[in-house]
Chain A
Amino acid sequence: QKEVEQDPGPLSVPEGAIVSLNCTYSNSAFQYFMWYRQYSRKGPELLMYTYSSGNKEDGRFTAQVDKSSKYISLFIRDSQPSDSATYLCAMRSGGSYIPTFGRGTSLIVHP
């Protein structure tokens, strides 16, 4: 079993939908949680990061962390075709500077 599990999808939604992307993890030492977006043939770019549990909002994006369930989520409101990409979750413990990545979820937002 991998430390970080993420459903690869693809997840296909109509424009304007609310999208929910999720990851589960097994290492209770993880404290920093990140979401990256990766377009085809590009490197991952950071969308959001969260420390410990709770919610964080940035525009149309909301990140949630539930450490008791070892479950993190990224919500995208009013999804746009330009949001079509692979979304990678990543996480690391406080004692490490090396993030562990999920395999990514492919999102397709169709007009």
Chain B
Amino acid sequence: EVHLVESGGALVQPGGSLRLSCAASGFTFSTHRMNWVRQAPGKGLEWVSYISSSGSTIYYADSVRGRFTISRDNAKNSLYLQVNSLRAEDTAVYYCARYVADSGDYSDFWGQGTLVTVSS
């Protein structure tokens, strides 16, 4: 059974940093692309970042480019999101999601999310 567990969310001051983690199990992590998607309180889903299976291809949403860094460690079955220069508008639940790219591109399994709150 596919299992994704996020961690690392916390209350942080504006300008601060965090490292979010996503532990994957139940599938061959090294052969799957992955995404981070966030959801601000009471708002819709917002895609944050994508990473290919090897880590060689990475994309970011315009709202986070230059501040957030996605990475992965296939030996540890783990996905990461380094979030820097945090702003109030980055407050959200951050989900990691397994990404499938066949005839379409979609996320077939999601973790339960980790909450990042940016406030002074």
Q: Are A and B genuine complex partners? A: no
Chain B residues in contact with chain A, CB under 8 A? Answer: none
Chain A residues in contact with chain B, CB under 8 A? Answer: none
